[in-house]
Amino acid sequence: MISIIMATYNAEKTIEQAINSVLRQTYTDFELLVVNDCSKDRTVELVKSIAAKDNRVRLISNEKNSGVSFTRKHGLEESNGSWIAILDSDDAWAPDKLEKQIELQKRTNADLLFTGSAFMDSDGQPIDWYLHAPAKVTYRQLLKQNVLSNSSALVRKELYAKHYAIGDGMHEDFAIWLSILKEGKNAYGVDEPLLIYRIAKSSKSGNKVKAAKMNWNTYRYVGLNPLAAFYYECWYMVKGLLKYKNLK
């Protein structure tokens, strides 16, 4: 079974689309854990309404507002599956996302999988470009560019728990994937836009200067010395500029 963790905070405008994209999956052996980080809007009401109609959806709530990395950890602790998938509450999946990843996992015996990404703007309008997913990514390759979008990931639960990172001053998901691949694992990609990622300026990655600082903190977190971190930060900026040019 796959445990899908959806951290959410004040997501009344997008969460129904995100949840419905999960419930439409052609692979049906999953649970969806929606972890509410003390939302002040109608998020909880909307989730409860959906959960009343589908028992695969479970609402969990933090006692206090704690940030996204702690909130996902709360979902991890409550999960029952042997695999973990992440979906942010403002993103969405294509209906065959999980099915195609499971098929690839059976062929490769992969521990970590991801997909290509399509994009939409903050209003949900599609952007005519998608980020390809390489067939396989190593630790060194991932250092140069994080092609492993968090909401596209499928990972063995024991690995995700072992390498879980908490820190809203860095890209904690990037830190997790790097730590897993540093063990000598590879990540395997489905080169189809099975994730639809929402570009929102208010997100942690929306501010380019802040994102660059967080990327630097991630490199230092996984053990890179300042010289190595600077080398890969240059790669990050070049790759990011090329990506932004396509999304602009």
pLDDT tens-place string over residues 221-235:
999 999 999 999 999
* Structure-model confidence comparison of residues 168 and 90, the more confident one: 90
Distance CA 170, CA 241 (A): 19
Query: Which pLDDT value is given to residue 243?
Result: 64
113: which strand partners?
Answer: 154, 188
Which residue has tokens 């996302």? Answer: 97
Contacts of residue 30, Cβ cutoff 8 Å, sequence gap at least 6: 1, 2, 3, 4, 22, 56, 81, 85, 98
Distance CA 184, CA 144 (A): 17
pLDDT digits (tens, 9 = 90+) for 41-97: 999 999 999 999 999 999 999 999 999 999 999 999 999 999 999 999 999 999 999
Say if CB 96 and CB 106 are below 8 A apart.
no
Give residue 204's pLDDT band: very low, low, confident or very high (50, 70, 90).
very low
Q: Is the pLDDT of residue 248 over 60?
A: no
Q: Is the pLDDT of residue 197 over 80?
A: yes
190: which strand partners?
Answer: 115
Distance CA 104, CA 27 (A): 13
- 244: closest CA among 218, 195, 213, 205? 205
* Structure-model confidence comparison of residues 199 and 219, the more confident one: 219
Distance CA 163, CA 208 (A): 26
Which residue has tokens 């630097």? Answer: 216
Token pair listed for 158: 């024991």
Q: 61 exposed, middle or buried (CB, 10 Å; 0-12, 13-18, 19+)?
A: middle
In this structure, the number of other CB atoms found within 10 A of the CB of residue 185 comes to: 18
- 37: closest CA among 165, 151, 168, 215? 168
pLDDT digits (tens, 9 = 90+) for 94-133: 999 999 999 999 999 999 999 999 999 888 888 888 899 9
pLDDT digits (tens, 9 = 90+) for 96-105: 999 999 999 9
Say if CB 155 and CB 79 are below 8 A apart.
no
Query: Which pLDDT value is given to residue 143?
Result: 96
Mean pLDDT of 26-50: 97
Lowest mean pLDDT among 27-41, 58-72, 205-219: 205-219
Give residue 244's pLDDT band: very low, low, confident or very high (50, 70, 90).
low
User: 3-state SS string over 117-154?
Assistant: EEEECCCCCEEEEEECCCCEECHHHHHHCCCCCHHHCE
Query: Which pLDDT value is given to residue 209?
Result: 85
Q: Is the pLDDT of residue 200 over 80?
A: no
In this structure, the number of other CB atoms found within 10 A of the CB of residue 112 comes to: 22
Query: Which pLDDT value is given to residue 234?
Result: 94
Radius of gyration of the chain (CA): 17
This prediction has a pTM of 0.93
